[in-house]
Structure 1
């Protein structure tokens, strides 16, 4: 793998976040596109790389705060026998460079002239509720990566859960957290539109895939109305959620289990 090929491999991984030697679940391998390698070629280049080339690839990705992890068929369900699954994940021990911005999130969820703080609240609430559907209702821990194939939900379910969340906030009256009160200004089809935008963001990132209509094979870009589709967590999505739980949300778990002493009044 020369430097040009390494750049092409990294470009592919930055676009799709994962690559499989022999995709499972009936998914077709992603074909080559203009200026981009095919999934088959990407896997072949990584598989055939020498130790020095792999080290160079690791160093290249580490400079961007990323790490490439490889999994075999016995590691998780859904990986075909003889296949290998490559997942590009943020490295929790490294700082993410400025080029990974939140702009796509703000642009996707924006309906009017909301502040970034308000849009961040919408994203946070939808992310937490999505995980309620993917984990809590299945009595599943973030560490239960191998159960990713059974974790599904529909956009309609997520929208309904969001409406219930807003009704709970309204019921709190003045006791509702000030940071969340902006959510109560939603109108008309706001919830459905934000849910659709949020789910499509997750799909483009490779964290969800539509079960009913996968759109263009391997792209993760589902066609049609995402509100009515059934979405399944991907292996990449489960791996990233596990990592988030271990490295970003561990303090909340400790608090829930009473391991953090209350601060003195």
Structure 2
């Protein structure tokens, strides 16, 4: 794998976040497109790379705060025999460079002139409620990566859960946390539109994928991907550890920092 091929491999992984030698979910391998290798070629280049070339690829990704996790058949369900699954994940031990921006999230969820802080609240609520559907209702821990194939939900389920959350907030009256007040300004189909935008973001990031079946209410059914389960596990270990510590009344573990809060922008 020369430097040009390495750049093409990284470009593919940045676009799709994962690659499989033989997709085991019935998905067809991604074909080559203009300026981009096919999934088959990406896997072949990584498989055939020498130890020195693999080390160079690791160093290249580490410079961007990323690491490539390699999984074999038998590590998790859904990886076909003889296949190999490559997942590109943020490295929790490295600082993310500023080129990774939240702007696509803000652009997707914005319906009017909401501030970044208000949009971040919508994203946080939807992310937490999605994990309620993928984990809590299955009595599943974030570390239960191998159960990702059973973790499904429909769009209408997430819409209903978000609306229930808003009614719960309204029931608090003046005790509603100030950070959540903007959520109560939703109008008409705001919730449905934001849910659709949120799900699309998760699909584009490779964290969810559609199933062929449809839900009872006509909404498409979404399944967590192996990449999504791996990333949720990593978030639980490295970003949410302080919440678990608070729940247990103890000090957060070393190396776990509070999530930084950005100043609100109009």
User: Which TM bucket (shorter chain)?
Assistant: over 0.9
Partner in structure 2 of residue 59 of structure 1: 59
Alignment of 1:38-187 (within 5 A): 38-187=38-187
Looking at structure 2, the residues matched to 257 and 139 of structure 1 have their Cα atoms a distance apart, in angstroms, of 19
Instruction: Give unpaired runs (5+ residues) of structure 1.
Output: 214-226
Inter-partner Cα distance in structure 2 for 1:4 and 1:259: 50
Q: Report SS of the residue matched to 1:147.
A: helix
Cα deviation, 1:56-101, whole Å, max 9, x if unaligned, reads 0000000000000100011000000010000000000000010100
Alignment partner, residue 231 of structure 1: 222
The yes-or-no answer on 1:259 pairing with 2:250 is: yes
The count of aligned residue pairs is 248
SS in structure 1 at match of 2:172 = helix
For residue 237 of structure 1, report the CA deviation from its aligned partner: 0.1
Per the normalisation by structure 1, the TM-score is 0.92
Aligned counterparts of 2:173 and 2:185: Cα–Cα separation in 1? 14
Where 1:112 maps in the other structure, the secondary structure is coil
Deviations 1:22-55 (A, max 9, x none): 0002111000001100000000000000000000
Name the SS for the 1:82 alignment partner: coil
Offset of residue 258 of structure 1: 2.7
Q: How far did 1:254 drift?
A: 1.6
Residue of structure 1 equivalent to 2:31: 31
Distance 2:159 2:244 in 1: 26
Q: 1:228 Cα shift? A: 1.4
Gaps in structure 2 of 5+ consecutive residues: 253-266
Task: Determine the C-alpha separation between the residues in 1 that align with 2:211 and 2:248.
Answer: 36
What do you get for the CA RMSD once the two structures are aligned? 1.1
1-side partners of 2:34 and 2:251: how far apart? 53
Tell me the distance in 2 between the aligned counterparts of 1:256 and 1:133: 21
Q: Displaced runs of 4+ in structure 1, greater than 6 A?
A: none
Q: Please, what TM-score do these two structures have when normalized by structure 2?
A: 0.92
The structural deviation recorded for 1:260 is 3.9
